Amino acid sequence: MTEKWKKTALLVIDMQKDFILPGGPLQVKGGGAIVPNVIKAVEVARQRGMLVVWVVREHDPLGRDVEVFRRHLYCGEKLGPTVSGDVGAELVDGLVIHEGEYKLVKTRFSAFFATHLHSFLQCAGIDSLVIVGVQTPNCVRQTVFDAVALNYPSVSAIVDATAAASPEVHAANIFDMKNVGVKTPTLVEWCEAEE
């Protein structure tokens, strides 16, 4: 493992059944297509000895910790999306947290908002971030922009291991990220990056 990868973390964002599976309450239409690429990115990160951080949404069954605009989803007899302990909050098939990897629970778009992610990464000596997951205009974008604001010297979003509801929305958000200095490699480009 080179020094570069020891200082790099892969953030896997919201690859949960309620966001990815067809018919899920918050399904991101492009999410299912990126599952193989996210699996591959995780495999490569592990081979490189990188820290893998699993960023997930988990909510109170009554929705007391969700954004105001989503509270209506928690007011019926059926559980709302990504309730802690419910099947919809689980990672999609093919993604498994390994020993030594880190699970971070968030309740807002950004993985940094009201969490201890920044201090955790600092303590781990991380200065570079690679982002995969869903969805590009919300959780991916907000996490990326917060990482830039927090002065991480290198932030990357793998373009074909991130997804949105449509290719157009995805492309527009990738364009915005590029304009603030975020690297946007394809999975193949990232996998072939020099050790």
- From the candidates 17, 106, 146, 160, give the one annotated as an active-site residue: 106
- From the candidates 17, 18, 139, 160, give the one annotated as an active-site residue: 139
| 106 catalytic per annotation | yes
CA distance 114 to 166: 29
**Residue of 107, 140, 128 whose CA lies nearest to 13:** 140
What tokens does 98 get? 């390994």
Strands ordered across the beta sheet of 51-57 = 102-106, 51-57, 8-13, 128-134, 154-163
| 139 catalytic per annotation | yes
- From the candidates 4, 6, 7, 14, give the one annotated as an active-site residue: 14
| 127 catalytic per annotation | no
Helix axes 167-178, 141-149, angle to 10 degrees: 0
- Where do runs of H (alpha helix) occur along the chain? 3-6, 17-20, 31-48, 117-123, 141-149, 167-178, 187-191
Q: Could you give the residue numbers annotated as active site?
A: 14, 106, 139
